[in-house]
Each structure stands twice: as structure tokens, then as C-alpha cells.
Amino acid sequence: MFEARLTQGVLLRKLLDSMKDLVQDANFDCSSTGFALQAMDSSHVSLIHMQLRSDGFDHFRCDRNLSMGVSLNNMAKILKCMGNDDVLTMKAEDQGDSVTFMFESANQERISDFELKLMDIDSEQLGIPDTDYSATVKMPSSEFARICKDLSTIGDTVLIAVTKDGVRFSTNGDIGSANVTVRSHSNVDKPEEQVVIDMQEPVALTFALRYLNSFAKATPLSNQVIISMSKELPVVVQYRMEDMGQISYYLAPKIEDEEMDGDE
């Protein structure tokens, strides 16, 4: 049997909200190491990989590996019924056909349990190679979200170019073009505002903004986002939840990645 208790139940709700627009149905994989999901988005262009470590839960028990297929939309609907400060407990039998979400209000005055039917879902588990990236940018997640949204009003794709002391986001479209440059800097007092660039070699890749905007739905999960890039490899857009795990999005670059010539 599987049972996991999360004091900050709201975390799981935010995770679902950040995934449900990209993926319809997916398997949650429960094992002694934790609670994880890997899935391609519906158009098979991008990949989500989220993982919550067992030691991040307040209680975690998983007797046998379990793969629970759910409609992320329905699971998100159920999690919306959770109070913002509720403690969440998930439970599933080894051979069961459902998973139960129990919400306890802080003072135990209200206890809810929602049962969600499981579904059989084919899933190809892709191996994600552990790469050393040419460049990694850590920056405020809200700023990344804002930039992707702003650039979407101009163009459909963004060229992300990392140099030693900054990262430039560029796009162009019918009405004109745009560049946003964020400079590397740190602020001891406000670590959540820091922009840290770890660069082995300069890299510049082009991506579809609509996917980056979907990824940015995860902004509420973390103050910072980590963007890792290497030439010709998918970018990784990662949001880390302290002591808990992370959600990472992978998206292949557009070929023709040196400059945006607007002739796409």
C-alpha cells in the first residue's frame, strides 16, 4: 500500500496546476524513493519530469512500486477542493483502482476525502541523460515568466543567448522585434532576486514561446528558475522545491539557432 502525508498540501496543487495544461493523463510513479511523474505533453514536443522525494513528506510509506494513472485535470479539480493550509494525505491500495486524497484543516475541524478513479495509461519512460550543460542561468522565476509573456506579444519564438555576464531573450514578429537582457548579479539580502550565470561556453538557442509560457505556470512553486542549455540539446527549465524535489521541463530547440532571421 501507498500512503504519503504532506503538511504543505498546497504544493501538490500547484504542481498539478503547472502540469495540467500540458498533459492530459499521466502515471504517477510511487516507490520507496518518492512520488514522481514523467510525461510528454499532448503534442509530444516537450517533456515534464517532476519528483517529490519520500523524505520530503511528513510520512511516506510505499510497500511496492505503484504506477497510478490519472487524469491530471481531474486530480487538479480535486486538489482545488483543498484548503490553502490543509494537510494532504494520499492513499492507494496496491491493487486498487483508485487513489484517495484526504484534506485535514489545520485545526482538524474539517476533514475531506476525495477518491479519484485510476486509469490505464501507456507511458513510454524516456531516459533523460544527465548532461553537463554549457550554460546554466538561475534567475527569479517571476522575471522569467514576465519576459516570456512580454515577448509573446511580439513573436512566437525566443532566442535565449547566454554570455558570461548576462542572458538575452530576443524575438521578432510582424510588428517589430524585442530584446530583453538580464544581467548577472547577486544580492545577499535578497537571494530570491539573484541572477547567477554559470557558463562553460556561450550558447544561444531558439524555443517556441508557447511552451515556455506553459512551463512558467510553475512559477508559484519557486522564487527561482534554473535554465540549462547546451548546443542542440533540449533546454531544461527547472523549479526546485526546497527539501522536497523539483519539476523540470524539457524542450528541444528550433534548428536555425544562431540568429533569428524572422524568415521562419
What nine digits make up the cell of 110?
A: 474539517
For 159-170, letters b (16+ CB in 10 Å) and e give bbbbbeeebbbb
**Contact code string over 7-36 relative to DNA, x by CB under 7 A:** --------------x---------------
Q: What is the DSSP letter of 210?
A: H
The interface region with a copy of itself, picked from 10-18, 57-65, 149-157, 197-205 by CB under 8 A, is 149-157
The interface region with a copy of itself, picked from 6-14, 37-45, 112-120, 123-131 by CB under 8 A, is 112-120
CB of 49 to a copy of itself, least distance (A): 25
The interface region with DNA, picked from 82-90, 94-102, 112-120, 245-253 by CB under 7 A, is 82-90
**Contact code string over 131-170 relative to DNA, x by CB under 7 A:** -----------x----------------------------
- Three-class DSSP category at 161: strand
Identify which of residues 34 and 140 has a Cβ nearer to DNA in the complex. 140
Binds 84, which of a copy of itself, DNA, none (CB < 5 to 8 A, cut-off by type)? DNA
User: Are 248 and 15 contacting, i.e. CB atoms less than 8 angstroms apart?
Assistant: no
260 to 95, 162, 177, 231, 250: CA distances (angstroms): 52, 15, 10, 16, 21
The interface region with a copy of itself, picked from 61-69, 78-86, 216-224, 227-235 by CB under 8 A, is 78-86
CB of 151 to a copy of itself, least distance (A): 8
Identify which of residues 151 and 236 has a Cβ nearer to a copy of itself in the complex. 151
Q: What are phi and psi of 44, to 5 degrees?
A: 55, 40
| C-alpha span between 256 and 264 (Å, rounded) | 9
| C-alpha span between 19 and 76 (Å, rounded) | 9
Q: What are phi and psi of 32, to 5 degrees?
A: -65, -20
Q: What are phi and psi of 144, to 5 degrees?
A: -60, -45
Binds 220, which of a copy of itself, DNA, none (CB < 5 to 8 A, cut-off by type)? DNA
What nine digits make up the cell of 258?
A: 544562431
User: Are 215 and 237 contacting, i.e. CB atoms less than 8 angstroms apart?
Assistant: yes
**Contact code string over 160-199 relative to a copy of itself, x by CB under 8 A:** ---------------xxxxxxxxx-x---------x----
Q: Which of 110, 126, 232, 259 binds a copy of itself (CB under 8 A)?
A: 110
167 to 69, 92, 205, 219: CA distances (angstroms): 39, 45, 11, 19
Q: Which residues pair with 30 in a beta bridge?
A: 35, 66
What nine digits make up the cell of 124?
A: 513510454
Which residues would be at the binding site for a copy of itself (CB under 8 A)? 71, 74, 77-78, 80-81, 98, 108-117, 143, 150-151, 153-154, 175-183, 185, 195
Which residues would be at the binding site for DNA (CB under 7 A)? 21, 83-85, 142, 220
